Structure 1
Amino acid sequence: MLDSPWRADFPGILALAGEGQTYLDSAATAQKPQVVLDALLGYYSGGAANVHRAQHLPGERATRAFEASRLAAAHWLNAASSDEIIFTRGSTESLNLLAYSLEETFSAGDEIVISALEHHANLLPWQQLARRKALKLVVLPLDPLGAVDLHQAATLIGPRTRLLAVSQLSNVLGRWQPVRELLALARAHGALTVIDGAQGAVHGRHDMQAMGCDFYVCSSHKLYGPDGVGVLYGRRAALAQLRHWQFGGEMVQQADYHSASFRPAPLGFEAGTPPIAGVIALGATLDYLGGLDAAAVSGHEAALHLKLLAGLAARDGIQLLGTPHVALASFTVDGLHSSDLAHLLSEQGIAVRAGHHCAMPLMNSLGLSGAIRVSLGLYNDGADLERFFSALDKSLELLR
């Protein structure tokens, strides 16, 4: 049956099941364990206060909890120091922060390299930076399996490359990308490197010191934590190249009417009141995840994924996008529109995602207007997939 031993930890999953809903959209946002809800309520009910700015007890207590989450994030990613962790409002803001803060390091004609599978969040900030600074945006093609083609990457990453920004795990194709090889190609030319870990961070622990990227971004809401919080890791030397991009609040060291000086990272890039409750709750999330048996989680996800892929392969007319490694599968059905199929699945209580998945250029390159995506969390079980396949069969019968 592929039962999940962690399902009872997620009240949202239980509530949805009570409404007859089967949640298979965790790649968009994950449900939250009870410890996250407890942390949010604890912060607000115990007396909310701003961080870093007050000498009173509520402010000191909030600051300690906030900075404890920074330590937890640094430990989770094996950063060299908690000073290498900047809290943002999500992966999208982290990537925009980098695009604006690094802008002055580029000159006309320099090249930024991305891949053909990028989420809009790791495409548009670089696209718009290229437009502002007359840079060349280089797009790495994919191989037939849905991974960046390393042979072509070796010819496209060159002496004019100033930055490489690629996803660790595709949110559409579900395939781990050859990040280490791409990082090595970029480093050989002295380029800065950015890894979009919004999907990858959910599946396994990733060691920043071993990986060797300059920057890594991920989002709390996909990692079973609260929304409105992101983590931007940056190597100390790479962080020193960033220029401040938002101004006000605690990021200021000294200010008069005509000039100001600013703090270095991390506080220098956390202007204004941060998402305090969310950051504290992210710390609780990481503590929860760190207490799980990682091998058991990974084995459960792998078994569910195999069941998902086998069920899709057993049905006529279903075309899988790429060859996914983990946790999700995107597919189309011959002769059917994905939105029609998603509508019928939704009417039967099956929550999946349909559309371009914030990757329009990838979909266009595949000749598709959209696809259905089923994505799994550690709380899903075999019964969820059985309900999905039953609803899929009924939907296909109706539409055909």
Structure 2
Amino acid sequence: MKLQIAKSVYGGAGLAHEPGGKTVLVPFTLPGEMIEAQLLEHKKKSDEASLLQVMSASKDRVKPACSHFGECGGCQYQHAEYPTQMKIKSSILQETLERAGLIALPNIESHLGPQWGYRNRMRLRIEELDDIPRVGYNRRGTNEFLAIHECPIAAPILWRAAQSLLQVAAQTPSAARWLSNAVEAEFFTTGDEKKLQMTIYVRKDQPGLAAFCEHLKQVIPELAGAGTSLIKLTGPQRQVQKPRPLESWGATGLSYRAADEDYWISRGGFFQVNRFLIDELVRIVTEDRNGQLAWDLYAGVGLFSRALAKKFRQVVAVETAGIDLINSFKGPGKHAVEATTVDFLRHAVIQRERPQLIIMDPPRAGVGADVCSFLTRIAAPEIVYVSCDPVTLARDLKMLVDAGYKLQEVHLVDLFPQTFHLETVVVLRK
């Protein structure tokens, strides 16, 4: 069928209308383009189709930089000029917020950095093809293995490390036998690419990590530490249970310099993925904010807490898995709490505690109704909400706005160029 793309939607596809009026989603298209598509699947709200050819291309269409684009499930927007990607994301964010009933929105301020080589973390599958180990990702929309030979959005050292892994296995029979037990490999680097951590996910426990890492370090001297974790692959969907750490070699984490602070990130621990925009994100969230008491909820390793501690007399940082936070966020005016945000806020309501500022950086599921209910009872004068999902963000903001908060600022921070993912910072005040 021939379709004209009306707009781009969250998830990366273009939206068009079939002659009968039903919407159809077609990936790798741009607004205004006339395309030919093949219907793939009927769904309740919209149909899904694949792109056969672009009959009338947008002036914003470009040649993708990666040879795997379209097959690989990682990127969705490499066919669009980068300024166009930002326009698409901004319009999607605006529409998502408005659809939730949020009106009179402030102008969305966009913040961007280099569009390539930005990722400080990379997780790859390892499989043998013709008896030769290869690394790759999932083929788009499936769990099939796609061997790759480049990944332009990853920091160069990460891809060099993946190549080194295969090189060591090819040159050393004992290393090849050891790696044959591996299912996945994850690499994490500092922003300056001078230090590297590696986790190898294996099918079964086996000795030999240290010997393998000594071989690998000769090829990639930045390797500072490594570990193996056991994962169980169950069923065709490759459902992965929580990995169980096994052996360890070298350092157990990395000291990551960002926003004029050093953060200790344990192997496998969460940290913002865009090495170029971390400082800007911290600036947006914390700049020109000061006072007596601030809370940093879903604090992670304390990315925002450290900056706040320079400006507030007391900062309370709350994190469910708070080992790194408790070990590093110490000293006068710094208080780390290992607890869920819901439990912390429930206790705070009982104690009638009220900070001047609350910062929240929840996972993709957002904060939810319980947290919003507690927040409205605590009634802090200012809340800064950092979100990686515009849909759950809009849901939560609507609850806070209905309770009396007003949206003062909306920032789109493009931590994930070439993909549909977008990071948003929203400032709310009473």
Could you state the TM-score of these two structures normalised by the residue count of structure 2? 0.33
Larger Rg belongs to: 2
Could you state the TM-score of these two structures normalised by the residue count of structure 1? 0.35
More helix as a share of residues: 1
More strand as a share of residues: 2
